[in-house]
Structure 1
Amino acid sequence: MSDSTHDSDPHVTFDRNRAARIGIEEAVLCGHKSDTQVAAILRDAIHDGRRLLLTRLDAAQHAALPDDLRDQLDYCTLSRTAILGALPTPATTPRIALVSAGTSDAGPMAEAQRVLAFAGFDATAISDVGVAGLWRLLAREEQLREMDIVIVFAGMDAALPSVLAGLVPGVVIGVPTSVGYGVATGGRVALDAMLASCAAGVTVVNIDNGYGAATAAVRLANMMRRAKAAP
């Protein structure tokens, strides 16, 4: 459409039925998109009255948006996410925990928390319990054993998901982060360590992929709801 209130980008095709089909709404990955494209996507959503989750929207992209669009967004610098529209009332089941080895893992962890909130799920955040100070994790063991899904964020040698998976009965999803130096730079060591985990049943997503971990948790949560509702 050519009017100023709905400048759709011809190169953007929304999957408007995704939520009905798979239970997860489409998100917009803003990295490598132009400011004009991001603005057009937002105007399209506003025109249709749709909620929208934007990921990897950096501060410069957010600042470049027209004032009328920026004012309608709930933007988080740490997670680089923006939410258009209201959040649903958060469900407290299944019980989901977000666990980080250190405060340096806060970015991907915040991304996951925002994605879960957009999908309507509450999550308990437990930070700075890396295995270098094992007592910090063991002090939270009882709480973590009560969780249905535990998403674990760790860089460096990324031992935390393996240790946690040996302590708790819930689903463990590992998120390798790009935190580290030397051979750990960029998160590849963390990724390989999680993939090579000796703990049974650890699921692993890509480096810094808080979005992927959160949507995996949403799929699990949706299946738990279906199983509970089945006759």
Structure 2
Amino acid sequence: METREILTRFKNGELSIEEAEHYFRKEPFEVMDDYAKLDSHREIRNGFPEVIFCSGKADQHFVHIFKKLYEDNGEVFGTRASRHQYELVKDLLPDVEYDELSHIIKIEKKEKEHIGKIAVCTAGTADIAVAEEAAQTAEYFGSHVDRVFDVGVSGIHRLFSRLEVIQDANCVIAVAGMEGALASVLGGLVDKPVIAVPTSVGYGASMNGLSALLTMINSCANGIAVVNIDNGYGAGYIATQINRLAAREYNIK
């Protein structure tokens, strides 16, 4: 439980003082048989619970970590998951969801509030997998997301047709492979921060996303920050931080 939830339940008489003390006496991390140390105080420190980077984890470790985070928080979120990992947990936790496109695995609390607005834009359809990782990360952390897909510079009129939606957002995520020009174009059209996400989409000279990364880093447009190649999660996280600040400033719901 979150600190505020514990205090509220204690105030309402739903928890005894001994039960509330139990939560606050827990160590800031929980050791799991020497293979993992779950950061149980992360949400208290920075407002976001720990999530799981699923790729490369041993089956047993993954299942135990996923199950423990769900038991502690009532929800859990993992990136770069495989269908095999989904199959491992779906019988234990029937509410688990898996998205084949973004490779996100999650159990989410029902009736979650989504505040503010983030626009997630892609240059092409091939960039949508990374964009969905960004969008679903932001939604999991409580942001409202508008998806604006396939608006790359090879047909820039498509972008202009959705410009009002993009300009209305508190933060814009630009996901692009090939030469990565979409971020620069958006940076010149909006008055909000643009988070550029280079993708590994492209032919040989794109060098698995390096070309797009260098274009975005060297953009002459202002207000652009760049995350790592294919790092949709990182973009969704930062965008949520910006969106929360904007929502707090203007008391947006």
TM-score (normalizing by structure 2): 0.81
Aligned partner of 1:203 in structure 2 is 225
SS at match of 1:135: helix
Rounded to whole Å, the distance in 2 between the matches of 1:67 and 1:169 is: 43
Against the structure 1 CA distance between its residues 34 and 226, is the aligned structure 2 distance closer, same or farther, given a 3 Å change threshold? same
Correspondence for 1:31 among 55, 68, 73? 55
Offset of residue 112 of structure 1: 1.1
Superposed counterparts of 1:68-147, under 5 Å:
68-69=91-92, 71-93=94-116, 95-147=117-169
**Contact 2:170–2:243 (8 Å) recurs in 1:** no
Letter in 1 for 2:161: A
Aligned partner of 2:16 in structure 1 is none
Which deviations, in whole Å up to 9, do the C-alpha atoms of 1:121-170 show, x marking residues without a partner? 11000110000111111222222222211101000000000011101111
Offset of residue 61 of structure 1: 2.5
Report the number of matched residues.
Answer: 220
SS at match of 2:165: helix
Offset of residue 49 of structure 1: 4.8
Offset of residue 117 of structure 1: 1.6
Identity %: 37
**Contact 1:97–1:151 (8 Å) recurs in 2:** yes
SS at match of 1:69: coil
Offset of residue 66 of structure 1: 4.6
**Contact 1:9–1:37 (8 Å) recurs in 2:** no
Letter in 2 for 1:129: V
Bigger Rg, which one? 2
Against the structure 1 CA distance between its residues 134 and 54, is the aligned structure 2 distance closer, same or farther, given a 3 Å change threshold? same
Offset of residue 205 of structure 1: 0.4
Letter in 2 for 1:130: G
Aligned partner of 2:4 in structure 1 is none
Against the structure 1 CA distance between its residues 67 and 171, is the aligned structure 2 distance closer, same or farther, given a 3 Å change threshold? closer
Offset of residue 48 of structure 1: 2.9
Deviates more, 1:125-134 or 1:141-150: 141-150
Against the structure 1 CA distance between its residues 167 and 66, is the aligned structure 2 distance closer, same or farther, given a 3 Å change threshold? closer
Runs of 4+ in 1 over 6 A off after TM superposition: none
Rounded to whole Å, the distance in 1 between the matches of 2:149 and 2:90 is: 35
Give RMSD over aligned pairs.
Answer: 1.7
TM-score (normalizing by structure 1): 0.89
Which deviations, in whole Å up to 9, do the C-alpha atoms of 1:61-98 show, x marking residues without a partner? 223x05423523111111111112425524241x2100
